Amino acid sequence: MFNVNRIHHIAIICSNYEVSKQFYVNLLGFKPLNEVYREERDSYKLDLLVNDIYQIELFSFPDPKERPSYPEAAGLRHIAFEVNNIEETVQYLQSSNITVEEIRIDPITAKKFSFFADPDGLPIELYEA
């Protein structure tokens, strides 16, 4: 048996590196830790720090395959970020021309949540603390 301490990182493959880098760094405010161009793969890898705890690895590849369906494809369904005030967060995203779904209430926890998408359509959930 083994013990898992925590999630180390979440890997995201994007179709346009510069657009996704701007989205995750400038819009969402994640801090770049390390950026590497891997010539043998014609690929960038950008490590991003999320709230000094988590990491996102943003990858680019020349011709990545598209996600088969939204969001019910087999595999990872979405990434969720906890926020303190969902209304303020939604307003901020909308002021940056990001389409955000209507805020809903989780019937199990009674917490507010909503979804928006990154530049490649990756579903991102906001979940109020």
* DSSP code per residue over 57-87: EEEE-SSPPPPSSTTTSSS---EEEEES-HH
The pLDDT of residue 84 is 93
For the beta carbon of residue 30, count every other beta carbon within 10 angstroms: 22
**45: which 2 tokens?**
């890898």
* pTM (predicted TM-score): 0.82
Q: What angle do CA 104, 111, 30 make, to 5 degrees?
A: 90
For the beta carbon of residue 127, count every other beta carbon within 10 angstroms: 15
The pLDDT of residue 9 is 87
The pLDDT of residue 70 is 62
Phi-psi region of 52 (alpha: psi -120 to 50; beta: other; left: phi over 0): left
The pLDDT of residue 8 is 76
Residues of the chain below pLDDT 70: 2-4, 67-76
Answer for the pair 61, 11: CB distance below 8 angstroms, yes or no.
no
